[in-house]
Structure 1
Amino acid sequence: MSCKRDDIFNAARKLIAECGFHGASVSLIADRAGVGAGTIYLYFKSKDILINELYRDIEKRVSAFILKSYPETGPIRERFIHLGTRLITYFIANPLDFRYGEQFYNSPYGTAFRRDRIMGEPGKRTVYNDLFEQGVAQQVLKDLPFFVIDSLAFGPLLAVMRDHILGFITLDKPLIEEVVAASWDSVRR
């Protein structure tokens, strides 16, 4: 990625996390990035494309982080605990990515991404799809629709991460382990 493109991404992520999608105009993003508004359009044909590409960039970084040392052939519980722990660890270290991702997922922008991720559209399957499928097939996880398993598994993790980022709680390693284990308990048979 080019330096200007990085500057645009960083400015957009910060502004959108602070002001929302509508409050982060192209001119504000350009001003914060130290570029002209026209420069943004050299890299992105529209603000919508910028928003979606920024999410994909964050998703790639999150994925690379959580998959580091991932025990692909380990027991379902071990893999679940790994993914949940790494996810929380990443977002604690990158709160702007969390805030951006939360806004993205709870907006019309995120609807298609969420559906594709959970439903496993060709080329868009994730490690979670495979884990949940295998867990249900092995009768380790509850036999529930994937949207429900995803919500039960990750909804509490997202809420706890949000509360940490807002300063309501402090997530340390032992508490993270307890939270992820409790999340596991909500989906296991």
Structure 2
Amino acid sequence: MSEKRARIIATALKLFCEKGFQNTSTATISKEAGVATGTLFLYFKSKDELINALYREAKNELAGFFQQDFPTEPSVENKLYHFWQKAISWALENPYQFRFFNMYSHSPFISSLTKEESASAFQFTLDFVEEAIEAGSLAPIDSGLFIALFSGQLNATVGFLTQNPQLTNRKAVTDQTFALFWKGISKS
């Protein structure tokens, strides 16, 4: 990715989170990114194309991060814990991306095609969940509902950690919230 394109993406991310999509003009993005408005349009034909590219790229980055150091042992609990820790770590290290997902995951500004392409980057997680449910390692639940419950608990945990930066026992909090989630969805 070119340095100018990267600045446009980073600036759009920040402004879309702080001001909203509709209240952010391409002129403002260009100015804050330090590029000419024409340069923005060399990379993105429209603001709609820009927000969709931003969504895809952030989702792909997160999916790649999830796959790093994925445990090879067969324990479903350890693999879910890996996703849990990775997601929390990524969210805390990338607060604008995390906020962006919460703001725009169900937004009409993100096209159906973009949502489908982004979901395909996470197919490995859906496959894992479906296999664990089928094997009886997880409670019999619709895999889409499982993902929604996981995301909801995760968002609550990240929100709590973000609102309480003074906490010295962050790992204990993430372990405790995962244990509560695991208790609710495990077959045992």
Normalising TM by the smaller chain, what interval? 0.7 to 0.9
**Is the Cα contact below 8 Å between 1:88 and 1:157 reproduced in 2?**
yes
The percentage of aligned residue pairs carrying the same residue is 27
Residues 28-68 of structure 1: CA deviation (Å, up to 9, x unaligned)? 11111011222111001111111111112112221222211
The aligned counterpart of 1:77 is 77
Q: Is 1:126 aligned with 2:126?
A: no
Determine if the alignment matches structure 1 residue 156 to structure 2 residue 169: no
Residues 1:136 and 2:133 aligned together: yes
In the other structure, the counterpart of 1:147 is 144
Distance in 2 (alpha carbons) for counterparts of 1:162 and 1:24: 25
* Partner Cα distance (2:165, 2:106) in 1: 22
Q: Aligned pair in 2 of structure 1 residues 38, 44: CA closer, same or farther (>3 Å)? A: same
RMSD of aligned Cα (Å): 2.4
Counterpart of 1:173? 171
> Normalising by the residue count of structure 1, what TM-score does the alignment of the two structures yield?
0.87
Q: How many residues align?
A: 186
- The residue type equivalent to 1:164 in the other structure is L
Q: TM-score, normalised by structure 2?
A: 0.87
* 1:181 CA displacement: 2.2
Q: Which runs of 4+ in 1 moved over 6 A?
A: none
What is the CA distance between 1:155 and its match in structure 2?
Answer: 0.7
Provide Cα deviations, 1:5-29, integer angstroms capped at 9, x if missing partner.
Answer: 0110110011011111112221111
1:188 aligned partner, one-letter code: S
Displacement of 1:174 in angstroms is 1.4
* Consecutive unaligned residues in structure 1, runs of 5 or more: none
Q: 1:124 to 1:90 in 2, by over 3 A?
A: closer
C-alpha distance in 2 between matches for 1:93 and 1:176: 15
- C-alpha distance in structure 1 between counterparts of 2:114 and 2:180, whole Å: 23
In structure 2, give the amino acid aligned to 1:183.
F
Judged with a 3 Å threshold, the aligned counterparts in structure 2 of structure 1 residues 11 and 115 are, in CA distance, closer, same or farther, namely: closer
Query: Structure 2 regions of 5+ residues with no counterpart?
Result: none
